Amino acid sequence: MRLVRYGDNGAERPGLLDRDGRVRDLSDHVPDITGACLTRDGLAALRALDPASLRALDPASLPMVDGIPQQDLRLGACVGGVGKFLAVGLNYADHAAEAGMDVPTEPILFTKWTSCIAGPDDDLRLPTDSATTDWEVELGIVIGDGGSHIASDRAAGHIAGYCVINDISERDWQLRRGGTWDKGKGHDGFGPIGPWLVTADEIPDARALRLWLEVDGHRHQDGTTATMVFGPEEIVAYTSRFTTLQPGDVIATGTPPGVGMGQKPPVYLRRGQIMRLGIDGLGQQQQRVI
């Protein structure tokens, strides 16, 4: 399934993407796409809306929503009510090299404040005192069943699905203003999520996905999740040692090389530019910098 949230900012409704790329409304069945419907039981209940199968809901049985998604129909972040927005740093060896940092021996964890979450195509408003705002296309994990101290060989069962994330980062705030990375990662709008949440059963190998990002048509990032240092199951298991993961939590898993900070000389976002990014099978985002 490809789950979406559509409508005006702050008033999104739950939906499902059909095979023709149109949104079907789920409002009669769930109040929102949140952790409550992303557990194993919650997803099974959604699939069981199709009386002919417990495995695949027929979107044609749901009301069609007017408009074409990401054209004249706004999509919000594909998960609502996120309790924790976590992230992993330097999780691609070649990105660590371009940043001049060692490849980590354990996942580097940090947080993105949930107030940074945005729709996949919402404008990015640069902070007024920012000169080094950067881009990072990332595979996002969405937690289904929660838990703590999850074993690596059971972690896949705790992943509801995957999505595209742009881990937008203000590098001066992240690296040169003291303290942790968080203040460079959590500004309003720095966490576009979506366009849709693709359930894990539709992604046979999350370590074999191509991901890319362009600014004004120039491709800066073009990588594959095969070069991750730590895979999704390792990340879920490791993170659950330090915090109880809850349904609907989101984890960004790191970015391949090609970020602005790694260019020679470094290149950062400017007002008027357009970012486009995507991951095979998970859709695309576009943000206009204002």
Same domain, 170 and 268: yes
pTM value is 0.95
Domain that holds residue 110: 85-288
For the segment 139-189, what is each residue's pLDDT rounded down to a tens digit? 999 999 999 999 999 999 999 999 999 999 999 999 988 878 999 999 999
Report the Cα 168 to chain-centroid distance in Å.
11
- Kindly report the CATH number assigned to the domain that includes residue 224: 3.90.850.10
Q: What is the mean pLDDT of residues 282-288?
A: 98
Structure tokens at 171: 């590098």
Per the domain annotation, does 280 fall within a domain? Answer: yes
Which residue from 59, 12, 51, 7 is spatially nearest to 31, judged by alpha carbons? 12
The total number of structural domains in the chain stands at 2
Same domain, 25 and 148: no
Q: Which residue, chain included where needed, has tokens 């919000």?
A: 76
Asked whether the beta carbons of 75 and 194 are under 8 A apart, the reply is: yes
Residue 56's pLDDT band (boundaries 50, 70, 90)?
Answer: low
For the segment 107-135, what is each residue's pLDDT rounded down to a tens digit? 999 999 999 999 999 999 999 999 999 99
For the segment 6-33, what is each residue's pLDDT rounded down to a tens digit? 999 999 999 999 999 999 999 999 999 9
What pLDDT shows up at residue 48?
Answer: 81
What pLDDT shows up at residue 57?
Answer: 66
Integer CA distances (angstroms), 78 to 58, 75, 165, 179, 232, in order: 20, 8, 10, 31, 19
Indicate if the pLDDT at residue 50 is higher than 80: no
